[in-house]
């Protein structure tokens, strides 16, 4: 049985297209569980119109109080009865064979617990932006090779997640190991599911765009609101680093949560890595204004940049040319 967990919160202009793309899959899903987080537009009416036609497939739950994106997805997933759960936002468009190709991926490797895919980026009008999600996240062939050889867990743990929930599917049994989701800044439900799957080498991906991922300024979570790499607003390097400086303290909390479920984890080394990241961010925040002094310090800390940055070259160039 296949389930879709969809969370809605305003976005009436895109919902028809998304629901139709799910309902017209080459391999059908058995249920679409929708949890609405107190929408104030016509989102609920649109869902109810679909529900009248397909009452056995579309099931709507309206929250009595707003839960926020993470807890709303937790609720929607918990209500799913399928063995495999597909996550869905309300503003994207699924490729016709998305479900079929992801199901085949699970069938080809029964040990997998989670799969994510690439996506074509589109604007609010549905026009292609000429870039894919993997390209935007620097999830190139080199990064994919590193993830396939065991680096995925560390990358996700240290806030270098490459998984986008709207492309993700997983076994309900994985969710049962992860729940309850942690509420930490910028550590979303997709990262938490991916982290647990990667810990046991049960995470994989499809290097093909299987959705059109819409970027617009009304997104609760995603590229358009600046929660990942592509942002609609300029942000200074100092502000960016200061924000990231908060992540290592969250990493300690994540490690402590993991230890309650996986007591054999190497707590000492994992926390040592988190502290190492703090030191690297502090070094970047304290770089001198003089470009020559700054460059000298950066070049003498290449190993730290290589270890902790999402993109070695981008981080180095940004730090060399940027005057704080």
Sign of CA dihedral 6, 15, 206, 123: negative
Query: How far apart are alpha carbons 98 and 100 in whole angstroms?
Result: 6
Residues 227 and 188 sit within 8 Å (Cβ to Cβ): yes
Per residue of the chain (324 residues), what is the pLDDT tens digit? 999 999 999 989 999 999 999 999 999 999 999 999 999 999 999 999 999 999 999 999 999 999 999 999 999 999 999 999 999 999 999 999 999 999 999 999 999 999 999 999 999 998 999 999 999 999 999 999 999 998 999 889 988 899 999 999 999 999 999 999 999 988 999 999 999 999 999 999 999 999 999 996 655 455 543 334 344 344 455 565 655 556 667 888 899 999 999 998 988 888 888 788 888 888 888 889 899 999 999 999 999 988 887 778 888 988 888 744
DSSP codes of every residue in 7-50: EESS-HHHHHHHHHHHHT-SS--SEEEEEE----SSHHHHHHHH
Residue 266 has φ and ψ, to the nearest 5°, of -85, 85
Using an 8 Å Cβ cutoff, are 167 and 119 in contact? yes
Residue owning tokens 């180095």: 316
Q: Which residues does residue 170 pair with via DSSP β-bridges, in sequence order?
A: 85, 114
> In this structure, what token pair is assigned to residue 304?
């730290």
Query: How many Å apart are CA 152 and CA 134, to the nearest integer?
Result: 15
């Amino acid at each position: 049985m296949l389930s879709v967990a969809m969370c809605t919160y305003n976005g009436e202009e895109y919902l028809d297209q998304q629901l139709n793309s799910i309902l017209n899959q080459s391999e059908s899903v058995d249920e679409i569980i929708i949890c609405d987080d107190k929408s104030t537009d016509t989102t609920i009416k649109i869902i109810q119109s679909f529900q009248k036609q397909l009452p056995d497939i579309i099931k709507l739950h309206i929250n009595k109080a707003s839960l926020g994106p993470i807890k709303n997805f937790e609720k929607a997933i918990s209500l799913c009865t399928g063995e495999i759960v597909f996550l869905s936002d309300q503003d994207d468009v699924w490729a016709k064979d998305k479900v079929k190709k992801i199901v085949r991926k699970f069938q080809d490797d029964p040990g997998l617990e989670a799969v994510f895919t690439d996506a074509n980026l589109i604007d609010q009008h549905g026009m292609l932006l000429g870039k894919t999600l993997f390209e935007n996240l620097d999830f190139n062939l080199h990064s994919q090779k590193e993830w396939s050889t065991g680096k995925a867990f560390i990358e996700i743990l240290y806030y270098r997640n490459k998984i986008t929930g709207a492309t993700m599917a997983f076994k309900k049994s994985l969710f049962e190991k992860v729940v309850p989701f942690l509420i930490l800044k910028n550590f979303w439900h997709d990262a938490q599911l991916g982290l647990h799957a990667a810990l046991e080498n049960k995470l994989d991906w499809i290097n093909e765009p299987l959705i059109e991922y819409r970027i617009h300024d009304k997104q609760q979570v995603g590229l358009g609101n600046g929660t990942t790499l592509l942002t609609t607003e300029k942000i200074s390097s100092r502000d960016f680093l200061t924000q990231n400086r908060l992540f290592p303290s969250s990493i300690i909390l994540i490690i402590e949560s993991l230890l309650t479920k996986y007591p054999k984890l190497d707590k000492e080394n994992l926390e040592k890595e988190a502290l190492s990241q703090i030191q690297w961010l502090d070094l970047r925040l304290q770089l001198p204004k003089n470009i020559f002094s700054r460059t000298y310090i950066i070049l003498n800390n290449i190993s730290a940049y290589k270890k902790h940055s999402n993109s070695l070259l981008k981080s180095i160039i940004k730090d060399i040319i940027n005057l704080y």
